[in-house]
Amino acid sequence: MPQILIVDDEATSRLALRRLLEGEAYHVSEAASVAEAQPLDLKRFDLIISTLHRPDAPDTALIDTADSVPVLVTARHASIRSAVEALKQGAVDFVTQPFDPDELLASVARAIDEHAPRRDRAPEAQRNSDTPQGMIGHCPGMRMVYTRIRKTAPADVTVLIQGESGTGKELVARAIHRQSRRVKAPLICVNCAAIPETLIESELFGHEKGAFTGASAARTGLVEAADGGTLFLDEIGELPLDAQARLLRVLQEGEIRKIGSVETRHVDVRLIAATHRDLNALSKSGEFRLDLYYRLNVMQIDLPPLREREDDILEIADVLLTGACRRHARSGLRLSRAARRNIRDYPWPGNVRELENALERGVILAEGNLIHPDDLGLGPVVARPAPARGSVSTGTSRPEATAEQEEDLSLEDYFQHFVLEHQDQMSETELARKLGISRKCLWERRQRLGIPRKKSPRSRSA
């Protein structure tokens, strides 16, 4: 995520600019003067936004100190001379105040894209080369996933992918297959939850003619079809116990036997399984074979849910939006600032699949060139607490702190209003899900804010 340093002697101006930039997912630091900014490690920033203090001449000391870091200059007293001088001294752009938010954001994006320090470009290219095809994001959780894919793929061992529905488990399986020695052989993907229980053994292991009513011809199973390649079993937690026993024999002996046949056949298949359920817990309750769980869990890859990938959400949204615009022939559409904030703050219980559906809906419903929050059709969105930023201390009390406290109070007011308005129609679980928090967190906030729970009908009659 790009790092921006704001240099301005007016705290109010810094606060307004900071909120605008953070709304677009930039990391923002501050300094009240050029002298305060100079001791910092300026090379770690992707852009510096500096305000001129005199209308007749630009302050060029920061431009010189910044070296390869682009400097965007703003001025409260705009003049052609000051703009020309700033650009001659090496500023990448000049924006007058009061500025138009869209114009400023466009200048910021352009400056970062075209003039970002070379120090970041090689690592970024390296990160992109490490990212498996079809996968997006560079948050710590996903970088760990990419590392595990890279190390696991050539090893030809069984892999268990765990993660909530919609997090991209099939993408991980495809990435492992593409980087494995079996890449020229087929990858067979099976959704165990989509096949009726009475047919799943036939689908996986095949059957002979006349093996059961309706078996008018012999059929090759999907396990045999994957011979020499990779078999991906999605939602393996839904596999019936009888099919689990057959699958265990495939893993242990490399053999299959069709339904209705006495002949066994040898197969060479690499198995990748995925589930959103806790297989260890299922094995303890007897719903999943413990020996099969141990066979599957040779290498485990855990996919983080979208709500924990804060640094990636907007990047994923932009890629998905481009695809949706192309499918619906709606070129030029983009997300409004409010829509981007909602996308960033929404908890996304359906993960990437839900995000893709919301953007698809937004592309269809949008009027004009902007997609607004109402077009996305999301439920109530509670803004996330602002993460700790590396701002520069001035040694004096900051007006920003008061503003942040007021913003926090407004969030509590929204929480209280939402709970009181909907608790008669919603259970505690539904309230927590809509607010994007756990039931425990909902209870703690009720205690802190003194919001009583609704009374049950029995207590009312008493």
State the SS3 of 321-359. Answer: HHHHHHHCCCCCCEECHHHHHHHHHCCCCCHHHHHHHHH
- Element holding 162 (H helix, E strand): strand 159-162
Residues 76 and 169 reside in one and the same domain: no
pLDDT of residue 159: 95
pLDDT at 243 over 50: yes
Angle at 372 between CA 442 and CA 408, to 5 degrees: 35
How many residues make up the chain in this entry?
462
Average pLDDT over residues 314-321: 92
What is the maximum alpha-carbon separation in the chain?
A: 94
Local confidence band at 229 (pLDDT 50, 70, 90 cut-offs): very high
Average pLDDT over residues 181-188: 91
pLDDT of residue 391: 39
Using alpha carbons, select from 280, 288, 292 the residue that is nearest to residue 238: 288
The CATH number given to whatever domain includes residue 105 is 3.40.50.2300
What does each C-alpha distance from 145 to 238, 293, 426 come to in angstroms?
24, 21, 37
Q: State the chain's mean pLDDT as an integer.
A: 79
pLDDT of residue 433: 73
Residues 86 and 201 reside in one and the same domain: no
Number of domains in the chain: 4
pLDDT of residue 454: 62
Site of tokens 């997300």:
335
How is residue 112 written in tokens? Answer: 């970062």
d(CA 224, CA 226): 5
Which residue range(s) make up the domain with 272?
Answer: 137-302
Is there a contact between 238 and 279 (Cβ–Cβ < 8 Å)?
Answer: no
pLDDT of residue 82: 64
Positive or negative, the Cα torsion across 406, 408, 414, 417?
A: negative
Site of tokens 């052989």:
185
Residue 446 lies in a domain: yes
Residues 54 and 70 reside in one and the same domain: yes
d(CA 178, CA 155): 13
Local confidence band at 399 (pLDDT 50, 70, 90 cut-offs): very low
Phi, psi of 451 (to 5 degrees): -95, 115
Q: Quick one: 53 exposed, middle or buried, by C-beta within 10 A (0-12, 13-18, 19+)?
A: middle
pLDDT of residue 404: 36
The CATH number given to whatever domain includes residue 319 is 1.10.8.60
pLDDT of residue 57: 42
Residues 151 and 248 reside in one and the same domain: yes
pLDDT at 143 over 80: yes
Of 31-40, 80-89, 207-216, 325-334, the least confident: 80-89
Residues 74 and 209 reside in one and the same domain: no
> Does the bond joining 101 to the residue before it have cis omega, within 30 degrees of 0?
no
Which region, left, alpha or beta, applies to residue 436 given φ > 0 means left and ψ of -120 to 50 means alpha? left
Residue 73 lies in a domain: yes
pLDDT of residue 272: 96
Which residues, listed in sequence order, are joined to residue 187 by a DSSP beta bridge? 230
Instruction: Write the DSSP string, 277-312.
Output: S-HHHHHHTTSS-HHHHHHHTTEEEEPPPGGG-TTT
- Which tens digits make up the pLDDT trace of 155-181? 989 999 999 999 999 999 999 999 999
SS3 state of residue 439 = helix
- Domain boundary pick from 359, 376, 393: 376
pLDDT of residue 203: 85
Is there a contact between 95 and 104 (Cβ–Cβ < 8 Å)?
Answer: yes
Site of tokens 């359920």:
277
Residues 266 and 323 reside in one and the same domain: no
pLDDT of residue 116: 54
Local confidence band at 80 (pLDDT 50, 70, 90 cut-offs): low
Local confidence band at 145 (pLDDT 50, 70, 90 cut-offs): very high
d(CA 188, CA 204): 11
Residue 383 lies in a domain: no
d(CA 292, CA 311): 36
Residues 146 and 252 reside in one and the same domain: yes
pLDDT at 78 over 70: no
Q: How many CB atoms lie within 10 A of CB 45?
A: 23
Phi, psi of 28 (to 5 degrees): -125, 135
End-to-end Cα, the chain, rounded Å: 57
Local confidence band at 119 (pLDDT 50, 70, 90 cut-offs): very low
Is there a contact between 160 and 348 (Cβ–Cβ < 8 Å)?
Answer: no
- Element holding 172 (H helix, E strand): helix 169-178
Residue 369 lies in a domain: yes
Residues 294 and 418 reside in one and the same domain: no
